[in-house]
């Protein structure tokens, strides 16, 4: 059963001959495709319009790159796939000269296997539980969903904004190496953001972003809330982090997890004192029972104004994105 336009006419199927290609290219370059259903008739082809369209888009288009994917392209595919999932057409928009079909094939035939070989679930980019159990890294958690904890002090009160973002929304890169396989990328475990507008050092607002690796924690000290996304950022070539007119990112040596461990130790030593003096760390992880919040995130993702800059900064601070322009281009397709 074919498409509507195919059912009415006797159409040829299978591989295209050079003659057919020539006819199609000749017609489209002179007339444009216009209505695809009328293309085969005008071009003298015994194909359905849909087949012509596919052939043009996937093979005959003059701006196609073809050839093997570069390491950079592979990284881009993995990184965008981590966010968008199997939205091949959207992923392909980040790869000039590549088609969704090409990206999809490359993913299925190559990247997918590499991720599996690294013990990563190609769908979620999280560690596969069985792999984790057998892995020497001895991760206590297995496939913990990506979590954002925002500890915000508003006046004298702490307001907690926390969201769990199950894949495919955002996950951080795996703890040991990036799955692109071409080159290992060091992932900074902690980030500290200093807002120049905040003069009181005690008014620090914390964001922690945790992935499956408890040691790969991103601590964004006082950053914008989800409702107020960070201002557009630019890549800081000096190292991890970003510089822009309103934000200053800097990598921090001490992982948040270490800080938490210190807290635990101090709590054990001075349990009562601690409750009063230590900065409160409210945890409100959204588990699977909290579908409503998760749905909100999904809706937010599907909205045109989805906070891509937040994702941008999230990925960039993870050190996994080398080409910021392509991340900024995410703005168009959601």
- The residues binding DNA (CB under 7 A) are 1-6, 12-16, 33-38, 47, 49-51, 53-55, 58-59, 68, 86-90, 100-102, 104-106, 108-110, 113
Q: What are phi and psi of 150, to 5 degrees?
A: -110, 115
Given the complex with DNA, which of 3 and 260 has the nearer CB atom?
3
Angle, nearest 10°, between helix axes 308-317 and 71-84?
130
CB 284, min distance to DNA, A: 32
Who contacts 289 (Cβ-Cβ below 8 Å, separation ≥6)? Answer: none
What's the rounded Cα separation, in Å, for the pair 216 and 42?
A: 59
CB 97, min distance to DNA, A: 13
List, in sequence order, every residue forming a beta bridge with 164; answer none if it has no partner: 147
> Measured in whole angstroms, how far is the alpha carbon of residue 167 from the centre of its chain?
9
Given the complex with DNA, which of 195 and 298 has the nearer CB atom?
298
CB 111, min distance to DNA, A: 10
Q: Which among 184, 181, 190, 178 has a CA at the least distance from the CA of 125? A: 178
Given the complex with DNA, which of 31 and 159 has the nearer CB atom?
31
CB 57, min distance to DNA, A: 7
CB 185, min distance to DNA, A: 23
State the burial class of residue 130 (Cβ atoms within 10 Å of its Cβ: 0-12, 13-18, 19+). exposed
CB 36, min distance to DNA, A: 3
Helix (H) / strand (E) element for 158: namely: strand 157-165
Would you say 92 and 100 are in contact if contact means Cβ atoms under 8 Å apart?
A: yes
Given the complex with DNA, which of 274 and 333 has the nearer CB atom?
333
Q: Which among 219, 166, 212, 167 has a CA at the least distance from the CA of 188? A: 219
CB 199, min distance to DNA, A: 46
List, in sequence order, every residue forming a beta bridge with 159; answer none if it has no partner: 152
List, in sequence order, every residue forming a beta bridge with 111; answer none if it has no partner: none
Given the complex with DNA, which of 106 and 242 has the nearer CB atom?
106
Given the complex with DNA, which of 126 and 221 has the nearer CB atom?
126
């Amino acid at each position: 059963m074919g498409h509507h336009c195919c059912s009415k006419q006797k159409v040829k199927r299978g591989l295209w001959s050079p003659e057919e290609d020539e006819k199609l290219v000749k017609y489209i370059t002179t007339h444009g495709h216009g209505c695809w259903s009328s293309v085969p008739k005008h071009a003298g082809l015994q194909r359905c319009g849909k087949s012509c369209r596919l052939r043009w888009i996937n093979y005959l288009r003059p701006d196609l790159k073809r050839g093997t994917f570069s390491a950079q392209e592979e990284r881009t595919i993995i990184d965008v796939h981590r966010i968008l999932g199997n939205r091949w057409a959207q992923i392909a928009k980040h790869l000039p000269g590549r088609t969704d079909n090409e990206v999809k094939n490359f993913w299925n035939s190559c990247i997918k296997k590499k991720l599996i070989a690294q013990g990563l679930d190609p769908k979620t980019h999280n560690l596969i539980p069985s792999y984790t159990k057998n892995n020497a890294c001895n991760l206590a958690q297995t496939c913990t969903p990506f979590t954002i904890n925002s500890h915000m002090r508003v006046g004298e009160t702490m307001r907690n904004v926390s969201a769990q973002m199950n894949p495919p929304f955002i996950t951080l890169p795996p703890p040991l190496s990036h799955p692109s396989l071409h080159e290992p990328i060091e992932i900074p475990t902690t980030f500290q953001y200093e807002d120049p507008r905040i003069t009181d050092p005690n008014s620090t607002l914390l964001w922690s972003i945790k992935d499956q690796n408890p040691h790969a924690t991103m601590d964004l000290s006082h950053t914008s809330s989800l409702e107020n996304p960070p201002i557009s950022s630019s890549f800081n070539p000096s190292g991890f982090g970003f510089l822009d007119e309103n934000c200053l990112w800097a990598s921090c040596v001490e992982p948040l997890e270490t800080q938490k461990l210190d807290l635990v130790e101090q709590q054990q030593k001075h349990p009562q004192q601690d409750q009063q003096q230590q900065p409160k760390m409210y945890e409100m992880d959204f588990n699977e029972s909290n579908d409503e919040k998760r749905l909100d995130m999904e809706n937010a993702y599907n909205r045109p104004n989805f906070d891509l800059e937040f994702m941008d900064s999230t990925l960039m601070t993870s050190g996994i994105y080398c080409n910021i322009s392509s991340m900024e281009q995410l703005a168009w397709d959601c």
